[in-house]
Structure 1
Amino acid sequence: MNFLRSFNAVCMPFAKETKKCISISIFNQTACYSIKIQHRRPIKVYDANAESEIQNMEEDGTSKKPIKRFKDEILGVVELNKEKLWNRNKSKIESEMNVEGLRTDETDSDDEKGETILGSTFVRLGDSDTRFERMIFKVQSKKQRHKANIIMLEGKRLIQDAISAGVVPTEIYFSRKSMIENLVMPAGLIKLYKMPYNKMKKWSQLDTPPGVVAFCQMPKTMVAKQNFQLPLTVICDNVREPGNLGTILRTVAGVGCNSVILTKGCTDMWDPKVLRSAAGAHFHIPVESGLTWDEICKKLDKNTRIFIAEHKEEAEMSSETMIPIVPYFSVKYSNLQDICIIIGGETEGISDEAVNLARYLDGLKINIPLNNNIDSLNVGAAISTILFEIKRQFIINNDLNCNEGNDVKSVK
């Protein structure tokens, strides 16, 4: 008996508190439901007398027209509300499309023109179609790109450069016909797909995508025809930043160098960021990637003069490995038969193999004098400065074939 009294004394406060919480919860739910009911708009309001009159007429069987008329009125109100809701959502969607830069009048005009462009029939992709996503996944990483043997080109100009060089895309995705109307491409050989711009923007790495993407088979080493060609080869040593590598390739193609060699530590030349930064340089100059230094030594001519782009003004090496450092403008490049410039990445710098190669072939280090306590330049800026100085000397001497070559040791 004492145990029951003790149990009741302990448990009763908890039971009352639990009952109180449940009551408060039920009250809150009821109040919330009541508030929602107050804000709902009725479909139709009618009085009780009209309802009783309709019920009496239905029981007597005299007429069913009032009931049918009443139901038709309700259905008419519902359809009217649906139409208003659709118009409101449609105007909202159109305004969002205008903000994204895709005008609705251009989309409608595309629908009216038909399903054929440039002699090829294109397919419209819906929101549930995953063809574009599957292609994007194949080029996300270097391993996936080389396994699928596919590269991605984004932008009309880059796609046209590839087609002009003989690299024909297998598939092209676009948001508007105007994006590909001016492309010069073979008819019937490329699969064309039209897709929403918002979906393309979702998967693009750019803030403002151009609205056209092409996928091509990964080409082999390009053999481009150049009207202006310098006896100059550029070796990129451990350049791991995609933007820097793309800038180097673009500069090399603009100067008119002979070729570019990428060592094994460089980033993938077919990375989408490298392709965008290079602006089509891949298709205008031969590029060899993933070479070891043993393979590079076999490719260089015995008369090749090695120059290492160095940002330091004084050598910090022992006498056994010391290589002279001179300003880049003090070398008479136009007197040389074959030139090789080695430039390293901003993070890793020049490798020991590159230094040993330059020392073995009696090479030099060249630097760009700087002021105001600036110790180095960006890789792209440094290679541009050096290469255009070499081109300037060849233009002045009017000796692009380099028939007469002197020893580089004559440089003071």
Structure 2
Amino acid sequence: MAMHMKYTSCLSSVERVMFLSGANSFSVECKRYVRGLRRRPVSVMFPTDTHLTAAVAKDKKDGTTSRDGGDLMKKRSNIMMKEGSNIMMKKGSNTMKEGSNMTKEGSNITTKEGSNIMKTSHHVAAANIDGYPFERALPGDKRLATLVSIARSRTFREKQGKILLEGRRLIRDALNSGAVPQTVFFSTAERLRELPLDKLSRASLVKVQFEDIKLWSDMVAPQGVIAIFSRPDASRLHFAERAHSVPLSLICDQVRNPGNLGTMLRCAAAAGCHSVLLTKGCVDVWEPKVLRAAMGAHFHLPIHPSLSWEEVEDHLPKEVTVHVADSTSQPLQNNHQEPASHAPCKPGDLGWVSVKSGRHQTQVEEDECEDEDEDEDEDEGLSVDTRLYHQHWAQSPTALVVGGETEGLSSAALQVAQKTKGHRLCIPMVPEVDSLNSAMAASILLFEGRKQLLQAMQTSTKNWSAKAGGQLS
């Protein structure tokens, strides 16, 4: 009976081990052979060991307890326990392997994700040029097209206060004068490095395809860089090399051709003019065609656009003489003959316009004719003497008025010239030539005015030095 209880406890321990290991088949066999276990526990537990069963049966007949059988049972139970533990160890090791594999997979995923994040962060960190970050325009980005098309509208430029500049030279001049950039579109890093990067820290840098810039560019050979600036104010810009300027101002009166206006601005900057004043009838000074023709003159001298004649007088010095350009002089006959002074002509015939224009042949309404007659009556009372361009007319602070080729000079310009005791300045031409281009005439008169002003300044300096020397002696 003691051996039976001992075998039962051993079996229960083995059953518990097998149950814990997940072997359900052994528990089913235990339930099936419960009654057999009570009768023949050894044969039920070890059905294959016949010699062991016979030995146990012999011991039972002899009425003695077989220690060898008990030892064998113990060994067998130990074997079973070891097998159960091995199964547990194998399953545990498999679980550990699976866990390690999952850990490895997780680590691989984490490593891959981390590497991807590092690559992404590296890509973001690499999206800069010399430490200045920029963004790449994705396919279908409409910002360049939108800004360019809007910036070309005069209404938008005046309302939103934005201008469009194209080309490295023009953008560089704007940045050096203190203009505020908002957005810069460039095609390559080399194009951006041609600009002063330290002055683009507050601007948005956008890299776009060169084809996009070429599509929206006004230039024949695009340079790969377009910038949107805040509309500059002449009073807030600083202009370099102003020490070479002379007290000479250019007044553009009703100049409506963008190419002519840009050329006038370029000549004014080259002649060292003090400032340029534009009346309200002129084309917008920030028109792209004007910018291209001016070649950066907007950022080399002060330009005041859209002024009335009252505001024009406020921008001029108090002791200034205003002269007007006139092309209605007599033809040049010889080198010694000078044209005589003549009576004032109509406003449409003043300025650098053709004197043979068929203005009166155009059919107009009665109201327009009456207005023209009134203007002619007003101009008949004006008396402004004529003087050749190479005669002395720029001896003190001077302003030169150049009218457009279509409209000519206005009556207000003649009134200011008469009030300041100015002259009509004419350039003699051969009889076959009708008139000069307004921009060409402006360049001739401006450089002649600069020469005369420099001579006058040198003469006054010598006279002052002579007077000072005589007083000291």
The TM-score with structure 2 as length reference comes to 0.58
Which of 392, 399, 408 is the matching residue for 1:349?
A: 408
Structure 1 residue runs without a partner (length 5+): 1-110, 406-412
For residues 18-59 of structure 1, the C-alpha deviation after alignment (integer angstroms, 9 at most, x for no partner) is xxxxxxxxxxxxxxxxxxxxxxxxxxxxxxxxxxxxxxxxxx
Separation in 2, partners of 1:258, 1:170: 29
The offset of 1:399, in angstroms, is 2.6
Q: Please state if 1:321 is matched with 2:333.
A: no
Q: After the TM superposition, which of the residue ranges 262-271 and 127-136 deviates more from structure 2?
A: 127-136
Asked whether the 8 Å contact 2:392–2:452 carries over to 1, the reply is no
Asked whether the 8 Å contact 1:171–1:216 carries over to 2, the reply is yes
Partner secondary structure for residue 164 of structure 2: strand
Asked whether the 8 Å contact 2:180–2:232 carries over to 1, the reply is no
Residues 121 and 298 (structure 1 numbering): CA distance in 2 closer, same or farther, change over 3 Å? closer
Q: Please state if 1:218 is matched with 2:231.
A: yes
Separation in 1, partners of 2:461, 2:422: 19
For residues 361-392 of structure 1, the C-alpha deviation after alignment (integer angstroms, 9 at most, x for no partner) is 22210011112511211111111111111222
Separation in 2, partners of 1:135, 1:116: 23
Match of 2:171 in 1: 159
The offset of 1:320, in angstroms, is 2.9
For residues 158-205 of structure 1, the C-alpha deviation after alignment (integer angstroms, 9 at most, x for no partner) is 111011111131111111221121211326322111111111111122
Q: Please state if 1:281 is matched with 2:297.
A: yes
Residues 332 and 359 (structure 1 numbering): CA distance in 2 closer, same or farther, change over 3 Å? closer
Separation in 2, partners of 1:287, 1:404: 34
Separation in 1, partners of 2:180, 2:421: 44
Partner secondary structure for residue 269 of structure 1: coil
Separation in 2, partners of 1:311, 1:237: 15
Separation in 1, partners of 2:380, 2:162: 49
1:105-144 aligned within 5 A: 114-144=126-156
The offset of 1:129, in angstroms, is 0.7
Match of 1:230 in 2: 246
The offset of 1:341, in angstroms, is 0.4
1:56-135 aligned within 5 A: 114-135=126-147
Q: Please state if 1:292 is matched with 2:308.
A: yes
The offset of 1:293, in angstroms, is 0.9
The offset of 1:224, in angstroms, is 2.4
Q: After the TM superposition, which of the residue ranges 321-330 and 343-352 deviates more from structure 2?
A: 321-330
Partner secondary structure for residue 350 of structure 1: coil
What amino acid is aligned across from residue 239 of structure 2 in structure 1? Answer: A
Separation in 2, partners of 1:281, 1:136: 22
The offset of 1:356, in angstroms, is 1.4
For residues 262-305 of structure 1, the C-alpha deviation after alignment (integer angstroms, 9 at most, x for no partner) is 00101111111111111111111111111111222233334211
Which of 258, 265, 269 is the matching residue for 1:242?
A: 258
The offset of 1:114, in angstroms, is 4.7
Give the ranges of 4+ consecutive aligned residues of structure 1 lying more than 6 Å apart after TM superposition: 400-405
What amino acid is aligned across from residue 320 of structure 1 in structure 2? Answer: G
Residues 277 and 403 (structure 1 numbering): CA distance in 2 closer, same or farther, change over 3 Å? farther
What amino acid is aligned across from residue 331 of structure 1 in structure 2? Answer: H
The TM-score with structure 1 as length reference comes to 0.66
What amino acid is aligned across from residue 134 of structure 1 in structure 2? Answer: T
Partner secondary structure for residue 230 of structure 1: coil
Which of 311, 330, 335 is the matching residue for 2:391?
A: 330
Separation in 1, partners of 2:411, 2:173: 37
In terms of Rg, which structure is larger? 2
Match of 2:437 in 1: 378
What amino acid is aligned across from residue 378 of structure 1 in structure 2? Answer: N
Which of 200, 206, 211 is the matching residue for 1:198?
A: 211
Structure 2 residue runs without a partner (length 5+): 1-122, 330-341, 346-378, 465-473
Residues 327 and 261 (structure 1 numbering): CA distance in 2 closer, same or farther, change over 3 Å? same
Separation in 2, partners of 1:375, 1:316: 18
What amino acid is aligned across from residue 158 of structure 2 in structure 1? Answer: H
Asked whether the 8 Å contact 2:152–2:164 carries over to 1, the reply is no
Separation in 1, partners of 2:271, 2:460: 15
Asked whether the 8 Å contact 2:248–2:450 carries over to 1, the reply is no
Residues 251 and 395 (structure 1 numbering): CA distance in 2 closer, same or farther, change over 3 Å? same
Q: After the TM superposition, which of the residue ranges 311-320 and 162-171 deviates more from structure 2?
A: 311-320
Q: After the TM superposition, which of the residue ranges 260-269 and 351-360 deviates more from structure 2?
A: 351-360
For residues 77-127 of structure 1, the C-alpha deviation after alignment (integer angstroms, 9 at most, x for no partner) is xxxxxxxxxxxxxxxxxxxxxxxxxxxxxxxxxx9x952213212211133
Residues 228 and 159 (structure 1 numbering): CA distance in 2 closer, same or farther, change over 3 Å? same
What amino acid is aligned across from residue 224 of structure 1 in structure 2? Answer: F
Residues 281 and 310 (structure 1 numbering): CA distance in 2 closer, same or farther, change over 3 Å? same
Which of 436, 449, 460 is the matching residue for 1:390?
A: 449
The offset of 1:319, in angstroms, is 6.0
Which of 179, 183, 186 is the matching residue for 1:174?
A: 186
Asked whether the 8 Å contact 1:223–1:286 carries over to 2, the reply is no
Separation in 1, partners of 2:209, 2:220: 16
Separation in 2, partners of 1:141, 1:402: 49
